[in-house]
Structure 1
Amino acid sequence: MLDAAGELFTTCGYAATSTRQIAEAVGMRQASLYHWFRTKDDILEALLSGTVTRPLAWAERLARLPLAPEVRLHALTHLDCRQLWESPWNLGILYLLPEVRTERFARFSRDRDHLRTRYRDLSRAVVEALPPAVPGDFVADPDDEVVFRLTETLPNLRADATGRPDQPLRTADLGLHALGWRGDRTALRAASLAVSRPLAEPVGEDGGAGRSTGR
């Protein structure tokens, strides 16, 4: 059901999609759909939540591992970018819907803010571990949230049919570079992939990696 809704919302538009169309797409009566979701907004919330709850869980697990800050941030960015880039439907583009800015989606907004904070804290740890800057050099400000913002460019790249197959990994590299990290990129990638691969699973229909919707 969520897979059908994700396809319709991202290809036909949220406003133009009805619950009847979603029900018909999965071969059920509209009344049966209401057994699972009371409104179309509930369906949208479930899809959106899947794109942030999984990265938050990854961040929690990465925080418990004895990793250098740049490895932890790179791994989180890569995992998050993968689920935005490889999910069956471009769910991240739904963040831009005006409906999502309303109080109805406050829980999703809070979860997204928590994820933003995770990125900001990890970015700060990376910047603080850098060698002292040479006078006159640019010094990144973690409060600019550059890595979080770079991650959220992937839905737009998908919509424009641009980017590369390895865009998630490239974006993780770019995030560290934007913060001023200039270490061994090959070693960083190897360390990041070593911890992220056990966490990564095939991306599911709700935007989360490998999570069944049960719908």
Structure 2
Amino acid sequence: MSSAPSVGRPRSGARRLPTGTARDEILDAAAELFAERGYAATSTRMIAEMVGVRQASLYYHFKTKEQILAELLESTVRPSLEYAAELSGQGLGPAEALHALVVYDVGVLLGARWNVGILYALPEIATEPFARFRAEREQLRLAYRRLVAADRPGTSEVTGDLVFGLVESVIGMRRDLPSLPPRAELQSSVAAAALRLAGLG
């Protein structure tokens, strides 16, 4: 008795995540396509083909392309937001806490397999499917403002926003530069620059 034919095309070894689920592989393939081809130019069919599954299988995990992008974007801010909450209970001074958050946040942005942060400026991000991402990113911005202004009443919110922008500048560096310094070196450099910008260095 012959076996049933495989579903979709065989998955590429380069795209298979060693311990990833089907959902993980869909997110990984979508991140690559969104980052390299663009969000509008990527269809759910293309994502399914890259993973090697039928579109119906993709829709089992994600109902829409917007849902895929929303989850990818949230993964770029939620770990840092949770880390900022942990820092608040550790009794660190403002400079130490800010340094720790910047190092961690830059690590998240650089550590992602694909540079999804370049999609922050998409006009679609202003729509309802991305409301949670926008809210979480704003919470992270406010965490930077609080750290910059801690023990320094009257500090302009703009300074905190500048530090936040400095951290996110690594997204553009990752896109534009042919090579980056080692991750730890870049994390340290951005954190030192953030402290100077905040007047805490």
- TM tier relative to shorter chain: 0.7 to 0.9
User: Which residue does 2:192 correspond to in 1?
Assistant: 173
**1:11-22 alignment, distance < 5 Å:** 11-22=36-47
1:140/1:178 contact within 8 Å kept: no
The count of corresponding residues between Structure 1 and Structure 2 is: 172
User: Which residue does 1:153 correspond to in 2?
Assistant: 169
**1:97-112 alignment, distance < 5 Å:** 97-112=122-137
Aligned partners of 2:144, 2:74: CA distance in 1, in Å? 17
1:140-178 deviation per Cα after TM superposition (whole angstroms, max 9, x unaligned): 634331111101111101110165322222111101101
Do residues 141 (structure 1) and 166 (structure 2) align? no
Matched position secondary structure for 1:153:
helix
- Greater fraction helix: 2
User: Which residue does 2:35 correspond to in 1?
Assistant: 10
User: Which residue does 1:205 correspond to in 2?
Assistant: none
**1:107-146 alignment, distance < 5 Å:** 107-125=132-150, 128=152, 141-144=156-159, 145-146=161-162
User: Which residue does 2:6 correspond to in 1?
Assistant: none
Aligned partners of 1:96, 1:41: CA distance in 2, in Å? 15
Match of 1:164 among 151, 163, 181: 181
Where do 5+ consecutive residues of structure 2 fail to align?
A: 1-25
Aligned partners of 1:171, 1:113: CA distance in 2, in Å? 20
Higher relative contact order (CA 8 A, sep 6+): 1
2:149/2:155 contact within 8 Å kept: no
Aligned partners of 2:49, 2:100: CA distance in 1, in Å? 40
Matched position secondary structure for 1:34:
helix
Q: Which residue type is aligned with residue 191 of structure 2?
A: A
TM-score (ref. length: structure 2): 0.81
Where do 5+ consecutive residues of structure 1 fail to align?
A: 130-138, 183-215
Matched position secondary structure for 2:138:
helix
User: Which residue does 2:7 correspond to in 1?
Assistant: none
Do residues 62 (structure 1) and 87 (structure 2) align? yes
Whose Rg is larger? 2
When residues 140 and 163 of structure 1 are mapped into structure 2, their CA distance, relative to the original with a 3 A threshold, is farther
1:7-60 deviation per Cα after TM superposition (whole angstroms, max 9, x unaligned): 010011111111011111111100110001000000000000111111111011
